Amino acid sequence: MKRVLLYSQPGCPPCSAAKQFLKARDVAFEYKDVQADPVALRELMDLNSRSTPTIVVDDEVMIGFDPERLELLLYQETWPAITAKSF
């Protein structure tokens, strides 16, 4: 299961759309309100973002809400690295 974080704030229509998108697909996610939580705001800035929504799927950061890209991030398979020892 991939770890999903949603950095959001009240009154943000794209944030609400992202939240509904995740809920509709039964994706477990951690909601972080950057307006109410100064730690969440600092985390958001550490991701080089000042915008909401910012969505983190494992190590991938998406600033803004792009349903197609989010779908890919959520459901793409992660493959182990191929090394010389694999052969």
What H or E segment, with its residue span, contains residue 4?
Answer: strand 4-8
pTM score of the predicted model = 0.85
56: phi then psi, degrees, rounded to nearest 5: -115, 125
Confidence (pLDDT) at 74: 94
What tens digit of pLDDT does each residue of 8-31 get?
999 999 999 999 999 999 999 999
pLDDT band at residue 82 under the 50/70/90 scheme: low
Confidence (pLDDT) at 1: 80
What tens digit of pLDDT does each residue of 47-60 get?
999 999 999 999 99
Alpha-carbon span 87 to 1, nearest angstrom: 28
pLDDT band at residue 80 under the 50/70/90 scheme: low
Catalogue all structural domains in the chain, each as residue range(s) with its CATH number: 4-86 (3.40.30.10)
Say which residue the tokens 């890209």 belong to. Answer: 69
